[in-house]
Amino acid sequence: MIDLSVVMGTVSAALLAVIVFRVWPMVKAFLPPVVLAIVQWIARAVVDGVESDYAGYEGEAKRQAAFCRIESALHPLLEYMKKHGYTISPERIYEAIEAAWRVMNTEQLLTGEKELPREDAPEDKEETEYE
C-alpha cells in the first residue's frame, strides 16, 4: 500500500516552491501601483476636505493644511510599507496632492464654480501711463 502522506508532502512542497518563485514576485510587483493608487485616492479626499473647510482665495493655507492632513492620513500605510521594504518618497505624495488639486480646479472651471483669472485684469496696483 502506498503511503499518501509522502505524496501529499511532496506535492505541497512543490506547490509552495511554485508560489514562492513564481507567484510572490508578481504580487510584489503589483503592490507599488496599488499603493500609489491608494495615495492618489487619499490625496483627492484630503484636497476635497480642505477645499470645503477653507474659503476661497486662501490657496497657500489650503496647501499647507492638505500637506499636514495627508501626512497624518498616510502614516499607517507608509509605516506598513516601510516594514515590508517599500518606501514612498515625500515628493510622490506632494505630486499626488498637486495632481488632485489640478483635477479639482479643472472640475470647478468646467462647472462654472470658478472663473479663469484674467491676465489683463488690473491688480490692486496703481497703473501709470508713460507718454
Identify whether 8 is part of a domain. no
| pLDDT bucket at 1, cuts 50 / 70 / 90 | low
Give the residue among 31, 41, 24, 45 at the shortest CA–CA distance from 88: 31
Identify whether 71 is part of a domain. yes
Position 129 scores a pLDDT of 46
Identify whether 18 is part of a domain. no
Identify whether 23 is part of a domain. no
Mean pLDDT across 75-100:
83
Mean pLDDT across 85-105:
84
Identify whether 4 is part of a domain. no
Identify whether 66 is part of a domain. yes
| pLDDT bucket at 130, cuts 50 / 70 / 90 | very low
3-class SS string, 44-62: HHHHHHHHHHCCCCCHHHH
Identify whether 81 is part of a domain. yes
Check whether 50 has a pLDDT greater than 80.
Answer: yes
Check whether 118 has a pLDDT greater than 80.
Answer: no
Identify whether 6 is part of a domain. no
The whole domain housing 72 covers 41-112
In whole numbers, what is the pLDDT of the chain averaged over residues? 77
Mean pLDDT across 59-64:
82
Sign for the pseudo-dihedral over CA of 88, 65, 38, 100: negative
Mean pLDDT across 98-114:
85
Count of the separate structural domains present in the chain: 1
